[in-house]
Structure 1
Amino acid sequence: MSVPRLSDCLHCRMRGESIFAGLNPAELCTLGMEVQDIDCAAGEVLYRSGDPARHAYTLREGAVKLVKTLSNGQQVILRLLHHGDLFGFEGLREKEHRHDAISIAPGKLCRLDLVELQRLSERQPKVREAIFQRWQDALRASEERVVELGAKKAEARLATFLLQWAQRYPQLRVLPFPLTRQDLADFLGLSVEHVSRLMAEFKRQKLLQEARNQLEILSPQRLQEIAAAKSD
């Protein structure tokens, strides 16, 4: 992780997607807390489950996975985060993190001290409301994913995921795709072998192509049909 730098929230291009989006320039200039910019490498652990919760993060570039290790040693990816996503905010209510946060691509993040953030949210109801809204959005997405995992066949799960991933990059034809087959398996509740077979079949049918951590969806309509297919 790089040496932290003081962030310029007023001129940040991610301002509209941050928890400070509802603050005017004068309020931003008098936050009463520091926001730090940090860079991280692919594979870097930002925090582990059980670590004291001291910081929260906004992801500006890159991708991060939140991982829970079960009692049998199996790893489950709880969330895959993109630009604009928040994580670590459970520290506002809990003393320790409940999962691992691991970068899966070189990234840029904003780091916020949780003690200072708690004080700010008490002074600024708009910040508190923004945090709660993002929590609610994340909970809703998690609930929808649980339903999909239980109700959809494996190929429908994968097709749904690929379409949702593409939606996060609406301006791009070729998408960043740093996920390994293990990452996909851990997120979708499938085996690595099953994911590998499905991806190979999708490529054989010319639904997508992959190269150097990049993905291009060639037939979104066909993927939508697979994603919508009813389970037997």
Structure 2
Amino acid sequence: MLRMTGIAIYRQDDRHPQAQACAACEVRSSALFGALDDAGLDRIHTHIASLTFDPDATVYDRGTAGLAVYTVRAGLVRFERTTERGDRRIVRLAGRGDLIGQEALLQRPYADEAVACTPVQLCRIPRTLIDELARGEGTLPRELMLRWQVALDAAETWVADLSTGPARRRLLRLLLRLSEHADPGGQIWMPRREEIGAMLDMTVETASRLISALRREGVLELARSRSRSARLDAAALQKALRAEDSA
């Protein structure tokens, strides 16, 4: 389910509710518009939509026209595509502070389907707004280039760490990656077995067997509820990774 509200981002005095909301935003300094100076903010004359998605809701579909980019304020988003054989693959993740949907900046369709893993909060930024701001002399063009590089690095790391090597090592590396997106209580989003298979190119049976082994070893503790969350023992995870790397 998607919920949306319009947020005007005209620069106004600090007593304005939106000015207060922007000042209190926890990802403001690391988000795309953190690169703008006051003059850049003064040139904004449009609306940004604040979006909230439930788990498994689609943020945007593969192949649809890219009209906006999105900043992830909270939660975790996965990117899916289907191979020519009809196999589903999850090709990367994005979390808090990340910019997604950059294809829109080149007026291209979205390359992957973006799906919420957890409850997700996004800011939808129209491409026309980015184009307007990028024509200025500010730091936004450089910030966009840096974020393209971050996305490229993430994709290359995903291939290097999660698409090659023994199945157990790939799963351990995935858990390490998920720990980077843990919630304030230290819990991670726990993919379904079929989602693990789609991420790591392994069968559901292999994923289930490995998860059971990690639970017995104390590396992973699944939540008792249906919240699809888990808690990791960081020391046990690192020990298991060292054992795999030295094997």
Aligned to 2:14: none
Letter in 1 for 2:228: N
CA distance in 2, matches of 1:51, 1:156: 35
Letter in 2 for 1:147: A
Contact 1:48 1:97 in 2 (8 A): yes
RMSD after superposition: 2.2
Return the offset for 1:173. Answer: 5.1
Describe the SS at the equivalent of 1:16.
Answer: coil
Contact 2:55 2:120 in 1 (8 A): yes
Aligned to 2:175: 162
Return the offset for 1:139. Answer: 0.9
Return the offset for 1:113. Answer: 0.7
User: Are the structure 2 counterparts of residues 125 and 193 from structure 1 closer, same or farther at C-alpha, using a change threshold of 3 Å?
Assistant: farther
CA distance in 2, matches of 1:225, 1:176: 19
Return the offset for 1:3. Answer: 3.1
CA distance in 2, matches of 1:151, 1:42: 28
Letter in 1 for 2:146: Q
Contact 1:151 1:231 in 2 (8 A): no
- 2:108 matches 1:95: yes
Alignment counterpart, residue 241 of structure 2, candidates 224, 227, 232: 227
Normalised TM-score (structure 2): 0.84
- 2:211 matches 1:199: yes
CA distance in 1, matches of 2:111, 2:154: 18
Residue ranges of structure 1 left out of the alignment (5+ in a row): none
Letter in 2 for 1:223: L
Describe the SS at the equivalent of 2:124.
Answer: strand
Per-residue displacement from partner, 1:80-126 (whole Å, max 9, x unpaired)? 12111211111111431111111122221100111221221222541
User: Are the structure 2 counterparts of residues 222 and 106 from structure 1 closer, same or farther at C-alpha, using a change threshold of 3 Å?
Assistant: closer
User: Are the structure 2 counterparts of residues 125 and 195 from structure 1 closer, same or farther at C-alpha, using a change threshold of 3 Å?
Assistant: farther
Identity rate, percent: 25
Residue ranges of structure 2 left out of the alignment (5+ in a row): 9-17
Describe the SS at the equivalent of 1:184.
Answer: helix
Structure 1 window deviating more from structure 2 (21-30 vs 45-54): it is 21-30
- 2:48 matches 1:35: yes
Aligned to 1:2: 3
Contact 2:71 2:124 in 1 (8 A): yes
Structure 1 window deviating more from structure 2 (41-50 vs 143-152): it is 143-152
User: Are the structure 2 counterparts of residues 178 and 161 from structure 1 closer, same or farther at C-alpha, using a change threshold of 3 Å?
Assistant: closer
